[in-house]
Structure 1
Amino acid sequence: MLINCVAYEDGAKLADIEVEDISDYVARPNCFVWVALSDPVPEELAALQEEFGLHELAVEDASHGHQRPKVEEYGNSLFVVMHLVEPVMTRGKVEEDFNVGEVDVFVGRNYVVSVRSRSKAGFLGVRERCEREPELLRNGSGFVLYALMDAVVDRYFPVIDSLEVELESIEKQIFDQGGAPRESIKHLYELKQRAMVLKHAVAPLLEGAGKLHGGRVPQICAGSQEYFRDVVDHLTRMNASIESIRDTISTAIHVNLSMVTISDGEVTKRLAAWASIFAVCTAFAGIWGMNFEAMPELKWRYGYLMALGLIVGTCGFLYWRFRKAGWL
């Protein structure tokens, strides 16, 4: 579906145009056309491929989707793939899952084509931002690529914040004696999976964005290198934060398992202590329960009271010792 098709010249908006009129505008020396699509059909991509001369391999990647984030050069043009990581909302409530959309950007000297797939979050705010800064928009399609990339990267920050807040909540539950260890481990693994989804979006994009500000920079991005450096800085911080989250999750899992082991050990000690106490009772009862004739205490008038007193006294002593040792 076509969202926008706008022509710009010298940093100013000329007009909203039809796809059929694109060739008339791209022929102008200081003009470029910005086309935005959402979940396009093959016919729409084919029409733009004909208008702009898009590389067939890049068009094939955009048609199939589910690509790894990357920045590829095709002659004098660029093809950029970025992931859109969005929390899933159900009846106004955030679910413990991510929807991973995709935005593919074709960039040439006189055109920008952004193709958004599997995502409801648009980029109208990016267009408005660019139009408010005509002095920067004069840098052409390279600045538009930066604005799109910066918008995608900025959307990762709230996701990272939500992961950190959830991790802190789970860490508190681990040391809550009333918490369920199995549930905590389940939540930690789910959190780790979501962190990996974000990792797969950030790390490859960091590698690709590094090509746009250092070394041999594509001519399209030559006037916007410092802006791409800012994007790389953000991605580097995010990548470090994700690694920290993953390390903390691993540590939390080990701590949780250790807490379970300690708890099981405490239960085992209590059971062993009570088993020892009852074993003494059983031993005394077994001895005096033997039916031998020559057991003088059995015929003693106070033998029963003596046996009970001995059993109670021994059990009481053992209980005191176990209690002192912390087993009970």
Structure 2
Amino acid sequence: MTVPTERAVVGCGVYVDGVREPGHVTHQAALERVRETGRGFVWIGLHDPDRHQMEALASVFGLHELITEDAAAGRQRPKLEVYENSLVLAMSTVEYLEHQKVTDTTDIVSTGEIMVILGRDFVITVRHGDVAGLSGLRTELEGTPERLARGPAAVMHAVVDLVVDGYLRVAEKMSREVDDLEIAVFAPRTRVGIEQIYVLKRELLELKHDIAPLAFPLRRLSVEHLDLIPSVVRHYFRDVHDHHTRVAAGISTLDEQITSLVHAAMAMIGVQQNTDMRRISAWVAIAVVPTMIAGIYGMNFTNMPELRSEYGYYVVLGVMAAACTGLFLLFRKNRWL
């Protein structure tokens, strides 16, 4: 059963001079209105559309079939693709998940995806996953008509800016996670499971793979003279690119920091193992003395000295106790015990 395209549409509006026209319209009627009047643009928001819904939308807006496939499939690596009459920007979104304690099953960062399809008189935002809803952004932009008056490219910039701001928030919280773990690792008499460090390492690597690839698309948007990006909006993309560069560098620094923690934790584990082995060896050495003496006098030979001595038993016990005490004090002095 084919689901109507309207089921995937979470928002549709016509904007003229930055102001949204009143009333509810379908995506097809909205585009017809804009093209008949030659003014304004259409902004359509989609959530998890399937292939049939995207094909129906593509037939109305004249989208390339590859755009349809990518938008329906999701899971696209961050990229910018230039078509004859449209631009497509795919981005990963991230969100920090609050948690009480880091374990090997803890998810610290949740990811999603947003794709922005930009045309001369329309912009389509396609969201996959529950991360980074855009309803608040639409309301914010509608409150500042001067931004929307710059055209559909202003919407693309606002979406990218929202996504990169999300990167910054997650990076700051991950930085606190790493700092807290670093304090715990080097705190005296505190044992931190190596699994906790590996979990943070895993989450940072995933975050790095989601964030880093967006650098090249943002550079193109801020530097290249693309027909669908007015020069006034291109300047704003440069600011976003700077923010992205900063957060990408911060994530790389955190990754190096957590790698150092892995090495430090492994070294501390090695030191602890050496200490434990030294302590075990000391106790074994203490236990060897009475074991050896008892073994000698348990060999059952007929002619052995002191077997018939009246005080031989007590003397041997005394020798055992004195030897064990001496070894204990020696090992304690050398800090083996």
Task: Give the TM-score normalised by structure 2.
Answer: 0.85
Among 73, 88, 94, the alignment partner of 1:64 is: 73
1:54 aligns with 2:63: yes
Q: Aligned with 2:225: secondary structure?
A: coil
1:236 deviation in Å? 1.1
Q: Aligned with 1:220: secondary structure?
A: coil
1:167 aligns with 2:175: no
Q: Aligned with 1:67: secondary structure?
A: coil
1:133 aligns with 2:133: no
1:207 deviation in Å? 1.8
Could you say which residue in structure 2 is the equivalent of 1:235? 244
Matches of 2:310 and 2:210, distance apart in 1: 87
Among 238, 256, 264, the alignment partner of 2:273 is: 264
Matches of 2:290 and 2:153, distance apart in 1: 87
Deviations 1:300-322 (A, max 9, x none): 44444433333322222211111
**Residue 284 to residue 204, structure 1, CA distance change in 2 (3 Å):** same
Cα-Cα RMSD: 2.5
1:124 aligns with 2:135: yes
Could you say which residue in structure 1 is the equivalent of 2:111? 100
Could you say which residue in structure 1 is the equivalent of 2:285? 276
Matches of 1:78 and 1:296, distance apart in 2: 101
Q: In proportion to residue count, which structure has more strand? A: 1
CA contact (8 A) 2:51 2:73 kept: no
CA contact (8 A) 1:206 1:235 kept: yes
Structure 1 unpaired stretches of 5+: none
1:20 aligns with 2:28: yes
Could you say which residue in structure 1 is the equivalent of 2:5? none
User: Counterpart amino acid of 2:250?
Assistant: S
Q: How many residues align?
A: 321
Q: Aligned with 1:232: secondary structure?
A: helix
1:245 aligns with 2:254: yes
Task: Give the TM-score normalised by structure 1.
Answer: 0.87
Matches of 1:268 and 1:134, distance apart in 2: 72
CA contact (8 A) 2:116 2:156 kept: yes
1:86 aligns with 2:91: no
CA contact (8 A) 2:11 2:45 kept: yes
Matches of 2:95 and 2:300, distance apart in 1: 80
Among 303, 319, 325, the alignment partner of 1:310 is: 319
Among 215, 227, 245, the alignment partner of 1:219 is: 227
1:29 deviation in Å? 4.1
Could you say which residue in structure 2 is the equivalent of 1:40? 49
Q: Aligned with 1:219: secondary structure?
A: coil
User: Counterpart amino acid of 1:33?
Assistant: V
Deviations 1:82-120 (A, max 9, x none): 122234589xxxx62543221111101211011112226
1:11 aligns with 2:22: no
CA contact (8 A) 2:95 2:131 kept: no
Could you say which residue in structure 1 is the equivalent of 2:3? none
Structure 2 unpaired stretches of 5+: 1-7, 100-105
Matches of 2:11 and 2:282, distance apart in 1: 76
User: Counterpart amino acid of 2:176?
Assistant: V
**Residue 177 to residue 112, structure 1, CA distance change in 2 (3 Å):** same
CA contact (8 A) 2:111 2:131 kept: no
1:162 deviation in Å? 2.8
Could you say which residue in structure 2 is the equivalent of 1:2? 9
CA contact (8 A) 1:84 1:119 kept: no
CA contact (8 A) 1:185 1:253 kept: yes
Q: Aligned with 2:76: secondary structure?
A: coil
**Residue 301 to residue 158, structure 1, CA distance change in 2 (3 Å):** same
Q: Aligned with 2:264: secondary structure?
A: helix
Among 207, 219, 228, the alignment partner of 1:210 is: 219
Matches of 2:131 and 2:234, distance apart in 1: 30
Matches of 2:211 and 2:260, distance apart in 1: 23
Matches of 1:249 and 1:176, distance apart in 2: 16
Matches of 2:203 and 2:262, distance apart in 1: 16
Matches of 2:331 and 2:252, distance apart in 1: 46
Matches of 1:43 and 1:275, distance apart in 2: 75
**Residue 315 to residue 89, structure 1, CA distance change in 2 (3 Å):** closer
